[in-house]
Structures are given as structure tokens and as C-alpha cells.
Amino acid sequence: MPPSELSRLVEGGERENIEFKERLESETHLERGRLESLASQMRHRILTGDGIAVYVVGVTDDGGLKGVSDEVYAETVDVLSVVADEADAVLRDVETYNVDSGNVGVVTVADTYDEMEHIVVGTAGHVDHGKSTLVGTLVTGSEDDGDGATRAYLDVQPHEIERGLSADLSYGVYGFKDGEPVRMNNPLSKREKSDVVSNADRLVSFVDTVGHEPWLRTTIRGIVGQKLDYGLVAVAADDGPTRVTREHLGVLLATDLPTLVAVTKTDAVTQERVEEVEDEVAQLLRNVGKVPYSVARNQDGVETAVERLPDGVVVPVVRTSAVTLEGFGVLDELLSRLPETHDGADEEFEMYVDRTYNVTGVGTVASGTVKSGTVEEGDTVFLGPTADGEFLEAEARSIEMHYHRVDRAKSGNIVGIALKNVDDEDVKRGMVLSSEPRESVREFRAEIMVLNHPTRIRSGYEPVVHLETASEATVFEPENGNVLPGEKDDVRVRFKFRPYAVEEGQRFVFREGRSKGIGTVKEIL
């Protein structure tokens, strides 16, 4: 909501579903009796506002933009959250503005958020093969101009948009309502993203990785650390599979992630060239024990792809053009029907931190994908391990999913969690948020397979291990003294600089230069 809309909202005065609040205090407004009264008022405003109520915070009764301090603002939003919970409602959106005297906010409250189906798709592929354009066109339904215009919806930094080159993970979202797509006109709009989450009964989140070879580390972080349901690899019809394509596809398949391939830019080449690239992709998949399945060449292509993709053996191949929208109907149908693959809803809450930032009036926010369990506003959580192996106790002050305020998040949701009682510098990528303190691990035993290395791996080998969202230098000590490419062996793995939360059964990728391999944690030492 731009400031001009804030001005119009304030100038319109209080109405049946719009209320001005200068401040709310926990000590005063959460007392029994007062809390029930506020919840009753909120419920009335929600009913008269067709499911929506709006609270303008930091404003006097006559609409004066008084503004309040960060501490008062945060406490007021916390109180509204408690009142909403009492009223069977949820804070759907919080917009914060800075005025001369402090903060003014617009808090939108709605009926309780209903859980929806939610799948997370990680996109990969060589630079300029059109993966970001593919996602941009999916979430908008708009035709591309042939020069990557819809790609700008995914790039997150000005220099990325200027160069047309992504340098970090970016995110996209669209959804479905009764099987029909729910898209956005402008995916850069926080409000439109929030509306998708609000209106859809099935959500598709995209984690768009980096196609440029020097940033393979970031791509691996996106694939390994985001609890993906499916992988989507873009291969340009005018270029075909490249070494980077093989790198990305190899990481996806090595982690047993069900994956599909989109042959992009089909409008730029002949039909014969499209079929030639499909055949190259098919051979590449057969070489690693997968079964390629061309959706275009089979009459029941979509039905079979939906049935067979989740088993991880069959890899559907879809022809697409962001310019003509060829294949996008197929992708829509696939993404509207593919099942969730994550489980763990009944387990304890756990989320590995991928990003951290500070929001005015909210405080420290840790974002990532919920690995297991559920978390609700007000829950006590533990963050760590710190460099000395400790876990810090915090409170989940609020939760957002694609800028939509929710009262709870479950396994598989990509969320930002505002943390109370921790500072920005306390939160690091690779830490875990959990319902109970976890074991702090410096060494573990793992079974590894070396995928690519020019010589034997010997004791003292120092690769970077990518485990969940952590990327850390380690030291390997093979039990048999050395490991050859293509071999499996048990190794002792030691983090060089700090401990992490590690548990048996976790998969990881290790790399050093162009050398790489995969592993599974067998025992904590």
C-alpha cells in the first residue's frame, strides 16, 4: 500500500470495518474481560467487512498521523495478534510506514487462515536457458517478449535485472482455486503475493536457483536446503544440454528429488531441432538410470506424468515457449495435480534458516522452509547452534508466507518467522529453529559416493559440505584410507570452524572446485 493510499484510508475516517488505534499495551489490553471485549469488536468488524477488518496503528481517533516508537509499534501488533487469535482470526498483512514522529501501520485482519495444499518446486538450468522467464510466465500467465521481460519478476537485485543474470536464490508463487490458476499481474507486489496465498486452495512456490557456473554453491544451497517437492530443469532448444545442465540435473537426481525437464524457447528453432534436443535429454537421463517421458509424443502424456513423476524414476519432458505459451497449459495441469511429497507433520517443529533480515516494527526475521512439524504464533522456539554449541530461546512473534500473515505454518511451507528475544547478529544461515534444543554436532560418520574427482580422495581432503542450508568447510578421513571416483565408502567428517545441527539419515552434497559427491549421515560422533 503506497503512502497515498494510507492518506486516503486515514482521511476516510473510521468505518464499520476500519478502526484507528494509537497504541495497544499488553498489560492493559490483554486482561481478561478487556481481551474478550476487543475480540468481540474485532469479530464484528470482520463480519461487517466481508471477512476483513483493518486497524490503522499509530493514528489518533481523529486520523492524526501521530506515529509510535519501534517498541510500542511491535507491542501493538503483538496485542492485535493475540486479539485476533481470540476472535478466530489471523493477521493477514502488516504494512509499516515511517512518519516524522515514528511508525504508522496498516494491519489487515481476516478469518482464520485455512491450510492448503502446498508444493515447492526448485528450478535449475544453464544461464540464458530461460528458467527464470519460465517461472515469471507461469506466475503471471503473460507472454514473454522474447527478451526475458517476465524474468525480471524473479530477479531480486537491481544489478541482476540490468544484466539479466541472477546471482542469488529468488522466489515466485502462484496457486490454484478449484483447479483454476490464481496468478498475479505484478509478482513484485507484496500485496498481490499475499492475495494469492489468501485466495488459493493450492499453492505452488518456486525456488529459482542460479544458472551461472561460478554460483554453483548457491544453486546447491537452493536444491539441498529448501525441502523441495520437485525439481524443474530448463534446457534451451537453441542450445541443448550443457555441462552446467548436467551439473544441476546431477545434483537434483543424486538427492532423489522427483524432477521434470522443460525444453524452452521452442519458438526459436525448428520442430526437428526440438526433437533433437529432446533426444539428447533422453539419453542424458538414461545414462543415470532414469526413464525419460516426452509428454508431447504421448497421447496420455499429462496423466502418465502425474502418476509416474513422484516415484522419482520417470522424468517427464515438456516442450515450452514463453513467447507463444506452448506447454504452459501442460505445466499448469501438472502443478495443479502433483501430490505433496513432504511428510513429518506429526513430528517436532524444525526449520533450517536460509536468510535473515530485519523488518521495522517487527524485528529479526529468519526465513526458510519448514522441514517438519508445525509452528504457531507465540510458540517458544530454539535457535542454534551458536559458535560455542549453545541454543538460544526465542518466541515466534509472527509468521509470514509470501508476505501473507498466517497464524501457523506446517512442513513444506516457505515462511519468514519474526523472532522475539534474539538479535540480528545471533541468526546465521545454516542454523536450525526447533521446538526443542538440538544436539550440537562437530563430527559425524557418513557413507559417501564420489561423483567426480581427478584422483583418489585421501585423508585430510577438505571439501565444502552442503547440508540443509549450511555450507561449511570440512575435513574428510576415509575409513579405508582413500576413495576412488565412482566408489562408496564410509568417512569421518569434521566441521572445521563451527558446529551444526546434524542428524542420522540426512543427505548432503560435497564439492571442492569441480570435484563433487553425495553422502548420507550414518552416525553422530
Q: What is the pLDDT of residues 325-343, one digit of tens each?
A: 999 999 999 999 998 887 6
Q: Is 256 left (phi over 0), alpha (psi -120 to 50) or beta?
A: left
Does residue 343 form part of some domain? no
The dihedral of CA 45, 49, 51, 56: what is its sign?
Answer: negative
Does residue 465 register a pLDDT over 80?
A: yes
- Predicted pLDDT at 114: 62
With cut-offs at 50, 70 and 90, classify the pLDDT of residue 158. very low
- Quickly state the pLDDT bin for 155 (edges 50, 70, 90): very low
Q: Domain for residue 414, yes or no?
A: yes
CATH of the domain at 491: 2.40.30.10
**Are the CB atoms for 59 and 65 separated by under 8 Å?**
yes
Where residue 82 falls among pLDDT bands split at 50, 70, 90?
confident
Residue of 122, 417, 133 whose CA lies nearest to 253: 122
Report whether 160 contacts 166 (CB < 8 A): yes
Residues 179 and 249 in one domain: yes
Do 363 and 458 have their domain in common? no
Q: Are 455 and 421 in contact (CB under 8 A)?
A: no
Q: Same structural domain for residues 176 and 212?
A: yes
Q: Is residue 344 part of a domain?
A: no
Q: Are residues 364 and 261 in the same domain?
A: no
Give burial (CB, 10 Å; 0-12/13-18/19+) of 14: middle
- Band (pLDDT 50/70/90 cuts) for residue 374 is very high
Contact 45, 17 (CB under 8 A): yes
Q: For residue 385, is it within any domain?
A: yes
Per DSSP bridges, beta strands 392-401 and 380-384 are: antiparallel
The string of DSSP codes covering 406-450 is: ESEEETT-EEEEEEES--GGG--TT-EEESSPPPPBSEEEEEEEE
Same domain, 451 and 430: no
pLDDT in tens, 231-290: 999 999 999 999 888 887 877 777 788 999 999 999 999 999 999 999 999 999 998 889
Whether 345 is covered by a domain: the verdict is: no
CA torsion 357-359-361-365 (nearest 10°) is: -40
- The total number of structural domains in the chain stands at 4
- Please state, in angstroms and rounded to a whole number, the distance separating the CA atoms of residues 178 and 173: 17
Domain contains 241: yes
What is the domain extent for residue 451? 443-524
Residue 193 CB contacts under 8 Å (≥ 6 apart), including other chains:
173, 184, 187, 402, 403, 404
What pLDDT does 192 receive? 84
Residues 368 and 283 in one domain: no
Distance of CA 344 to the CA centre of its chain: 17
In a domain, 511, yes or no: yes
Count Cα neighbours of 38 within 13 Å in the Cβ-side half-sphere: 23
Under the banding of pLDDT at 50, 70 and 90, the label for residue 162 is: very low
Q: Is the pLDDT of residue 322 over 70?
A: yes
- Note whether 291 and 326 are within 8 A (CB): no
The residue among 279, 309, 337 that closes a domain is 337
SS3 323: coil
**Do residue 404 and residue 321 come from a single domain?**
no
| Residue pLDDT, tens place only, 90-142 | 887 888 888 877 899 899 888 765 667 889 898 888 888 988 899 999 999 98
pLDDT above 60 (res 308): yes
Sign of CA dihedral 362, 368, 369, 371: negative
Q: Any idea how long the chain is?
A: 525
Residue 71 located in a structural domain: yes
Which of 73, 91, 111 is the C-terminal boundary of a domain?
111
User: Is the same domain home to 59 and 176?
Assistant: no
Mean pLDDT of 207-220: 60
Same domain as 267, residue 193: yes
